[in-house]
Structure 1
Amino acid sequence: MRRSLIALSLAIVASTSLTAAARADIKSPVVIATEGAYAPWNLTDSAGKIVGFEPELIDYICKRAKLECTIVAQDWDGMIPGLIAGKSDVIMDAISITPEREQIIAFSNPYARTKAGFLTARDGKFAKADGTGSTLVTTPTLNNAADTLKSLRAKLSGASIGIQTGTVYAEFIEKNFGDIATIREYRTNDERNLDLENGRLDLAFEDTVVLMPTVEKANGALEFTGPAFGGTLFDAGSGFGFRKGDDELKAAFNAGIAAALADGTIKALGEKWLKADVSP
């Protein structure tokens, strides 16, 4: 989803060893970079610790694999460059598995799949677009979405739509709405959501799970409009990112994901943090 190189010295160390038992065949500690600001996947609590769905899943995986793991905070746009430069060993931030990214880094098997949608003012002119409350399950070809896109383009014409820069959602919005709406890119979701809450932006488009805390905070002032987009439209799911060639580390994480799916851990963490079962 994101790009640009930021020195690791700027990263905030959010937690230290998750388990003391390290595997001799994998470098220790395993440094895992995440944004720490992509709630509820990962967020920084009042004590400065990174918590959320992904940190708890990492805890499970590292303990199961007997790995010593350290989580550090990293700006989204520096995450992939930092991984390639060796400043981290794993990246996690609900990162979409896409063919373009697979040319640069390696991915684990997916541990989650979600959907994305538009959020707007409840009483605004862009509310209650056709399909509101439904989910359109589609593919990258959008072969079953022509009528939906036509209707949304008509409804959203002239709107300002906020997206986080460098994401798969940004690509979708630019391609399908860039000629009929003003697309505003934000470095972080928090900046975008603040503009939406304060009426400086008409719509946000994002993972619906990520937008839910904003919906709840707004106490009825904001609502989703139009259908949510699911299926494989954006990606093959969310996965952990690795440097190409780190096969042992990737295998250890894949084994942990398989176990977490089999024993219900991912389902339970999804319901705890995301209010939904996001098992792929």
Structure 2
Amino acid sequence: MMIARALASALLSATLIAGAAVSAEAKDWKSVTVVTEGAYEPWNLTNSDGTVGGFEPELLKDLCGRMKIECKVVTSDFDSAIPSLVAGKYDVIMDALSITDDRKKVIAFTDPYAATPAVFVADKTGPLAKAPGTDTTIKLDTDARTPTMDDLRKAFKGKTIGIQSATVYSTFVTNNFKDVATIREYKTSPEHDLDLAAGRIDLAFDDATYFTAAFAKAENKDLGYTGPQIGGLVWGPGEAFGIRQGDADLVAMFNKAIAEAKQDGTIQKLSMKWFKLNVVP
């Protein structure tokens, strides 16, 4: 996953109110509880033995070693992560979480450790296999219409697009395609892959690095990219750890460790291992 991810305005307001009760006192950070989805491969995944692996858990292990703190990783649904963080259930969110203005009203972010494009996927032998812009990359600062986006709207008219709920990608697809296509939301990304492979939806939209891993699974062998890879500030500055606004000292600790891991090449090394491309911002 990576996050990825946006929240509805009503949820943001409710979460902000709840967060007002959380103490802003500085803490002596010896340990933190980090929540992740554990189902957004290759960002994070749950191994057969119940442990959590992937790009982010390996990066977290490195960062926690630099900070000399104990990091306990737990898994939970993505769409409950921010409210639970603000309520004090967890200390850190690690789930391909995109930095957005709406989220910054509710939580704090570390510096980004990745910045990745997103893309549509369809049956690679079907009529949508070569949508306008396929094999190209476009950069968007906002989700404003462009000639390529207008061509995609025409190509996807009357189709059904699957997206993971509560993500920046769900907001983007809804804003740009809800008047021409049916939007179907899923709690996890593998669920939209399942329906796409079974022909129950026509397209899915998600992070390109997520699909890199998804395509390696036998059940997704007939799926492929269609349309352009979409990058740029439309997704925000990148993916980062989410932390409560009152825990500025913890943000500073993570930022120092992230800067060191960028400088010595650790993040790039993990990026190449898990994504086969350099996603360092």
> TM exceeds 0.5?
yes
Letter in 2 for 1:107: F
Letter in 2 for 1:181: A
1:1-280 correspondence to structure 2 within 5 Å:
1=5, 26-140=28-142, 142=144, 146-218=146-218, 220-280=221-281
Letter in 2 for 1:197: A
Q: How big is each residue's C-alpha offset from its partner over 1:186-207, in whole Å with a ceiling of 9 and x where there is no partner? A: 1111111111111111100000
Cα RMSD between the aligned structures? Answer: 1.6
Q: How big is each residue's C-alpha offset from its partner over 1:191-243, in whole Å with a ceiling of 9 and x where there is no partner? A: 11111111111100000111122222257511111101001112110010111
Q: How big is each residue's C-alpha offset from its partner over 1:61-84, in whole Å with a ceiling of 9 and x where there is no partner? A: 110011111111111111001101
Residue 13 of structure 1 is matched in structure 2 by none
Structure 2: which 5+ residue stretches go unaligned? 12-25
Using structure 1 for the length normalisation, give the TM-score. 0.89
| Distance of 2:237 and 2:101 partners within structure 1 | 9
| Distance of 2:259 and 2:30 partners within structure 1 | 23
| Distance of 1:231 and 1:248 partners within structure 2 | 30
SS of 1:118's equivalent?
strand
Aligned residues: 259
The alpha carbon displacement at 1:27 in A equals 3.4
Letter in 2 for 1:256: A
| Distance of 1:155 and 1:114 partners within structure 2 | 24
Letter in 1 for 2:239: S
| Distance of 1:235 and 1:128 partners within structure 2 | 27
The alpha carbon displacement at 1:264 in A equals 0.6
Letter in 2 for 1:240: F
Using structure 2 for the length normalisation, give the TM-score. 0.89
Letter in 1 for 2:195: D
SS of 1:216's equivalent?
coil
The alpha carbon displacement at 1:140 in A equals 1.4
SS of 1:71's equivalent?
strand
